[in-house]
Amino acid sequence: MATEMTTTEETETTKTVTSEDVRALAREDVSGDVTRSVA
C-alpha cells in the first residue's frame, strides 16, 4: 500500500486515528485509486 511512504509514518497514522483522519479516510475511500497513490 504505502510503498513510497515510511512504514513508521503509516503505523503512526494507524495508531493515531482521530475524527479528522476518519474524514480523510472517508474522502480517500471515495477517490479509491487516489488513496492508494497518496497513501
Q: What confidence tier does 8 reach under pLDDT thresholds 50, 70, 90? A: low
Question: Residue 29 pLDDT > 60, yes or no?
Answer: yes
Does this model's pTM top 0.75? My answer is no
Coil, helix or strand for 33? helix
At 7 the pLDDT is: 57
Average pLDDT of 9-25? 70
Long-range contacts of 4-8 (CB under 8 A, 24+ apart): 5/39
Q: What percent of the chain has pLDDT over 70?
A: 26
Closest CA to 29 of 21, 14, 6, 4: 21
DSSP H helices in the chain = 7-15, 19-31, 33-38
Angle at 13 between CA 21 and CA 27, to 5 degrees: 30
Region 2-24 average pLDDT: 66
Tell me what the mean pLDDT of segment 30-34 comes to. 65
